[in-house]
Amino acid sequence: MISKLNTAINLFKNRKLGDAEKLCSEILEKDPKNISTLNLLGIILFKKKKFGEAIRVVKNSIKINSKQADANNNLGLMLLDLKKFEDAIFSFKKAIEIDNHFSDAYFNLGITYKELGITDKAIFYWEKVIEIQPKSFQAYNNIGNIFLEKNKDILAIKYYEKAISLNKNFYLAYFNRGNALQKLVKLNESIDSFSEAIKLNPKYSKAYYNRGNSYRDVNKLDYALNDYVFAYNLDPDLQNLFGNLFATKNNLCDWKNYKENLSYLENQIFKNKIIMSPFTSLSVFNSPKIQYNIAKIHLSAQFGNKSISKKNNFSNKNKKDSKIKVGYFSSDFKKHAMSHLLVETFENHNKLNFEIYGFLLTRIKKDEMTERISNSFDHFIDVSDKTNKEISELSRSLKIDIAVDLMGYTKSNRFEIFLEDCAPVQINYLGYSATTGSKALDYIIADNTLINNEDDKSKYSEKIIYMPNTFMPNSFKGIRLQNSLKRKDFGLSDNSFVFCCFNKQYKFTPYIFDIWMDLLREVKESSLWLLVNNNQTVQNLKQESEKRDIDSKRIIFARGLPIEQHLSRYTLADLFLDTFPYGAHTTCGDALWSGLPVLTLKGNTFASRVSSSLLKAINLDELITNSVGEYKSLAIYLAKNPHKLNALKKRLKIEKEKSLLFDNKNYTKNLETAYKIIYKRNNELKPVDDIII
């Protein structure tokens, strides 16, 4: 019997499950109470997905001899795999009752409680494993993972490093440490950690993917692209990988196979594949329907049933405070476009009627903008070390009436806070120019240019707060244009007509670049001034211009400058050319404030209509075009008719002073009117509906 059992064990180890099962059955025909064989057969049956039979066989073994710690542990693993958590816990505890030094059962209890989200108990049982087996590197790694989820990143790293010290070849600990360092924005260190994981496991696709993310964030886009390609070759089904690969190629202005890749992305999205992040879609598709689909796919993949609808409907109508409490949630309270736009609004809030809270969601390198913003709030709370659930609970305990998500699906967002219902009313505002696809966000702040009919509204999960003039605030207090700048200081010719675009390079597409090159071809004495922050992108754009028979010297590349110098250099250009389908937002406001006309192509999406919104607000509707033909014709006309362009610039100067576009005090009053209306509606338990200010 023993030799037969050993043969069955070897067959099982060699994955010959049918032969192993048959041999076990033969043994049990002669010896039905052979518990070793029963236990092996149970495992074999479970591997063959004969779950009911497997559990029955192992339970039979335990019935014959109830003092089997191994059998109880195996039964627990089967029940855990079937998500029968309470039964699994009973079995693991039974194994420990039989052998209180049985580390595997403690380890598996930790896994079970982790699955249940009871992380304190998971840590408790993994610490018991470490007491019994001080060299259990897996237990240290698992505890590190919990601390990483709880945003205790520094503590998580200590546990990962302990795991590594116990097993230098444990690639998962290097990978996890890389993730923790990434969250701490120690990106070069995270790259080193991911590289160690890859060295130990060269086929670990997730390590290439995550290292690619770190390379992307330190602007080593060519390295990032290489890692994404490597990851894709290993595992093309990794969530959002192809979308990141595509986006990085766009950021490099590497447009090989652009049309084919775009078609593939669209096809996969309509199959509900998790292939692209919502934010990436804004610069790719001129379709609110596609963007809505991507948002819903993302929500379902990230949050499951939690994303379907709000769990709790509540109000603070019985609170004693007389002021409306508004909480702004962001990771970008620093030198950032969002802060540049909103800082005056924060400062102009009426503190007699409103109590303003700022919640800093992630660790940032704090700067003078952080200080200015934090001073503008009644309360500025750094919640970067709290879990999403803890932040939502804190918001509720503070009786925040209106929670304003300034991030949507932009980088470092913590959207789950809003799925946890951090306030009775929750708003999608400014940071993310599309629908979130979630009913957890009650409203999106927009205007009639951005969302102007019932068909538009059907592509938004949120109801619309229609601001007058434009949805976008502007903040230019204290900034003065410098008149001493000269074109030659920036490599521009005094005799050239300067087309300009200071939008970020990921908004460039081969289609818009084709148009720009046509303009340079048509307007002989002209140049194109672009703001590009990556050397490889510069080289690629030069090559793309030469492919289109345009001398690459006619493209002038700018780099980042302090805000006053940056705004002042707009005055050296003749006409701002907008991108498509993700147009200018902050840059449009900057250009108009600086006196530079902006030519835009209005599309179907929120992201493609922001420039149109700003141009309408400043009464320059004639710079809004609705087709490629119109866009090109008007650009050429203005370049060849300087008197018409000069007249536009004079009008812009006049409108800047008298229009409401740059009147932040008026804007803030309108925003507060919206807050008062939705606060009142909520306290009267009226349904969420569109609001026109």
φ, ψ (nearest 5 deg) of residue 553: -70, -15
Q: Confidence band (pLDDT; 50, 70, 90) for 11?
A: confident
Span 87-107, pLDDT tens digits? 999 999 999 999 999 999 999
Instruction: Among 278, 307, 336, identify where a domain stops.
Output: 307
Confidence (pLDDT) at 311: 47
Tell me whether strands 598-601 and 624-625 are parallel, antiparallel or unpaired: parallel
Instruction: State whether 641 and 524 are in the same domain.
Output: yes
52-89 confidence digits (pLDDT tens): 878 888 887 888 888 889 889 888 988 998 999 999 99
User: What average pLDDT does this structure show over 425-431?
Assistant: 97
Q: In terms of DSSP bridges, do strands 443-446 and 425-428 run parallel, antiparallel, or are they unpaired? A: parallel
Are residue 612 and residue 544 in the same domain, yes or no? yes
The answer as to whether 182 is a domain residue is: no
Domain enclosing residue 563, as ranges: 487-661
Provide the mean pLDDT of the chain: 93
87 part of a folded domain: no
What are the pLDDT digits (tens) for 282-324? 999 999 999 999 999 999 999 987 665 554 556 676 566 689 9
| Residue 127, domain member (yes or no) | no
Asked whether residue 580 falls in the same domain as residue 446, the answer is no
Please write the tens of the pLDDT for every residue from 162-184. Answer: 999 999 999 999 999 999 999 99
> Which among 609, 673, 596 has a CA at the least distance from the CA of 638?
596
Asked whether residue 649 falls in the same domain as residue 527, the answer is yes
- 513 lies in the same domain as 589: yes
Claim to verify: residue 412 and residue 269 sit in the same structural domain: no
What's the pLDDT score for residue 313? 59
The answer on 331 and 300 residing in a single domain is no
Residue 101 included in any domain = no
At which of 259, 278, 307 does a domain end?
Answer: 307
- For the segment 267-281, the average pLDDT, to the nearest whole number, is 95
CA 98 vs. chain centroid, Å, equals: 48
pLDDT in tens, 362-421: 989 899 999 999 999 999 999 999 999 999 999 999 999 999 999 999 999 999 999 999
- Residue 493, judged by CB atoms within 10 A of its CB (0-12, 13-18, 19+), counts as middle
- For residue 6, is it within any domain? no
Which residue has 């120019």 as its token pair? 433
Q: Same structural domain for residues 350 and 418?
A: yes
CATH number for the domain spanning 335: value is 3.40.50.11380
- Whichever domain contains 657, its CATH number is 3.40.50.2000
303 and 329 assigned to the same domain:
no
Q: Tally the domains of the chain.
A: 3
Residue-by-residue DSSP string for 331-386: S--SSSHHHHHHHHHHHHS-TTTEEEEEEE-S-----HHHHHHHHHSSEEEE-TTS
Whether residue 210 lies inside any domain: the answer is: no
| DSSP-assigned states of every residue in 493-557 | -TTSEEEEE-S-GGG--HHHHHHHHHHHHHSSSEEEEEE---HHHHHHHHHHHHHTT--GGGEEE
- pLDDT tens string 541-598: 999 999 999 999 999 999 999 999 999 999 999 999 999 999 999 999 999 999 999 9
**Is residue 45 a part of any domain in this protein?**
no
DSSP string spanning 387-441? Answer: -HHHHHHHHHHTT-SEEEES-TTSTT--THHHHT--SSEEEE-SSS-S----TTS
Q: How confident is the model at residue 690 (pLDDT cuts 50, 70, 90)?
A: very high
3-state secondary structure at position 465:
strand
Q: Could you tell me if 419 and 537 lie in one domain?
A: no
Residue 444 included in any domain: yes
Which two tokens mark 229?
Answer: 């390609």
Q: Dump pLDDT digits (tens) for 339-365.
A: 999 999 999 999 999 999 999 999 898
Locate the DSSP E strands across 42-176: none
In this structure, the answer to whether residues 302 and 330 fall within a common structural domain is no
Clarify whether residues 280 and 329 are in a common domain.
no
pTM, two decimals, is: 0.92
| pLDDT, position 483 | 87
